[in-house]
Structure 1
Amino acid sequence: MNAVVASGNAGKAGQEHPAVGETELFGETGLPVVEPGYGQAWTERYSEALMNTFGAPQKVLVRGEGVYVWDADGRRYLDLLAGIAVNALGHAHPLIVQAVTTQLTTLGHISNFFASAPQIVLAERLVELLGQANDTDARVFFCNSGAEANEAAFKVARRTGRTKMVSTEGSFHGRTMGALALTGKAAIREPFEPLPGDVSFVPYGDIAALEAAIDDQTAAFIVEPIQGEKGVITAAPGYLRAAREITARHGALLILDEVQTGIGRTGKWFGHSGTGVVPDVVTLAKGLGGGMPIGACVGLGRAASLLGPGQHGSTYAGNPVACAAGLAVLHAIERDDILANVRAVGAHLTAGVKALNHPAVAGVRGEGLLLAIMLNGPYSAEAAKAALDAGFIINAPAPDAIRLAPPLILTTAQADEFLAALPALLDTATASSKDA
């Protein structure tokens, strides 16, 4: 077969990409056909076409179904990362496909001079799930990502008339300039300084430090119920309740970043569910769209009305298709009792890892299907590589932690596939680390 590239996909100066295979088009859509066996060639094309913000991709993925994905070489993987906690219902879930297709064939996009039914209903559902259905002051701002949701929350905080913000060390709130200013990771924050100022950081989970940092000039404290990007770090019981009491006493907002922990990831609708805490602002994204880009900044009480007309916006905010996907996700979670599945499979994974008694495992932390396998050494990167070679997608957010954030529809049988392979993966990882 000739190694040709269709119009619009040509290489530099119109050169052909050798060994890519024939790139055909589906009718008028312009979508490429990816034939198995050309993964490396597609990776090379990636490096020539995209900015090097993520480094070389581990694989070029071409298809997904349920909890599995396939790469450009035709190999199948059990996806235990779900696009970093995004694909709540897995890949190509029929309900999302139907909702998106129906909405796209009805009304794909409108400006925010107008409203759509999916946008309105999704906002109402989120307020209801937060237990604030009777709060006439609860309001939602839709956007396109978690970073944008936290940008909106930052602006809500500024509208209090105060500028002082408190965040936590090791936190991750996004990469836009405002969200980055709130992120407690110096390595990704410092190259872009100066950032929006008056932000201080306290140790995560330290109530005494929080008490000392918040005063009557504080606009808001932003915190994750679980620090996912730090390595699935959980705070001690009572931390969020203490944060609520301290912020309320000083008239500061409590912003809960539920971008990763929200929409069923912990086996509850939200990471703070069941704590008795009513925050002022909740930010959401990731699992809310089930793969479609959407974020939400939910203001409760006085925070609901701090932003007025002209003070914030987004061209795609509340896009009907993304909101339709969000409604499908919420409907499926309720219809199929997925929260119960998250709790059951999460407990099964936790018990299964502990039962291995592997010398490289120090324990398991997290909640629901946001888990970290704690390691006795810096083996996680090698473990993730060994897992990919064996057909599993996992993540190494910290040198000594493996993150599991699979689709919420993962079954115990599928979890057992990973548990059966895990000892060999850890053996390979520890051996590779010793040889390095």
Structure 2
Amino acid sequence: MDFHLTEKQAHFRDRVRHFMNAHVRPRMADYDREAAAEPRWKVLSVIEDLKTKAKAEGLWNLFMPPSSGHNHVDDSFPFEGVQLTNLEYALCAEEMGRIHWAPEVFNCSAPDTGNMEVLHRYGTREQKDAWLAPLMRGEIRSAFLMTEPDVASSDATNIETEIRRDGDHYVINGRKWWSSGAGDPRCAITILMGKTDFGADRYRQQSMILMPLDLPGVTVERTLSVYGYDHAPHGHAEIILKDVRVPVDNMLLGEGRGFEIAQGRLGPGRIHHCMRTIGVAEEALEAMSKRLLSRTAFGKRIADQSVWEERLANARIDIEMTRLLCLKAADMMDNAGNKIAQNEIAMIKVQAPTMALRVLDDAIQAHGGAGISGDFHLAFDWANIRTLRFADGPDEVHRRAIAKAELKRYAAPSPARPA
């Protein structure tokens, strides 16, 4: 097993790292001032300036995968990404994850990344021209509408939003929430999961359709807070859908294929979250170490108190183990496919946020009262990472899948029936 980075892996990781340190980090105070000013829901000039620089340096749409025949209609679409593998992108995403708003600078932020991959894999050429191209140019934003407030959405077969065929249109009725990205004023298109056939097999009832956010009958009822943070200007919304008419050409892949698309979307999306989460943990460990070295209590540096030595050591061990699991999962996705790597994806999806929350909690403790204030980003990062134990499937669902796979390995074969 070779742990050395290839020339390409190191090249892109180092370029992203340099860009983060040279351009993004110096603008953190500018971002905070602009984001805090009214109106809350707006396009931030700080990000737009940095997007221009990133695009000029070729650090743009890094997540877009190499063309590999997944595109069901047309593999010739000239998308603008640099076609990094999951493993190559993992190293870049960790660097981006150190500052929560940085991925958008590289046009690599959720939910746009997942939505662009869906359009790339499953969209028609007309759908790509209409929505994928402007998304890849960074001109618009998108949202993903799957979760619903009235059902346990950890089981996606429970969703109740109706997508009913009516001539040349589908009519959509339902209610969605945690519609990530819908608060952004540039959000122009959503990918919505609903049911086209309530009587079909439970995994063939669902479909995914492209729904513009400005259609009649679409009401953004409210934006939701996360531990008191509104997450502006990105935002998570609760949306009411009342007789929303969408052209039939907006259906993705075909009726009843929503679960198929979801699996293609959520696999890469889950690992993207985990990659960025490792960067958050590294940032928290650095902040914790610097704080402990700069403060004294009871006659010596806090860093020299044995309890903190133990916490620092555990943080470094946990980060290194989590990174290796993440890279293993990414490598398996590249070489064996998402389906073969599903157990590793589930494991890293549980491990990464759990690990980062422990490191963040210790970093907050090291900062004392300052750690829970807004003077540092630790409290915000904790609230943000805590949501990942729900996003793209709650921990319990992934642990159940891991356990079932483990039990399957040791289950006794069924006895042969007598002739």
TM tier relative to shorter chain: under 0.3
Highest relative contact order (Cα 8 Å, sep 6+), 1 or 2? 1
Query: What is the TM-score of this pair, normalised by structure 2?
Result: 0.26
Higher normalized helix content (fraction of residues): 2
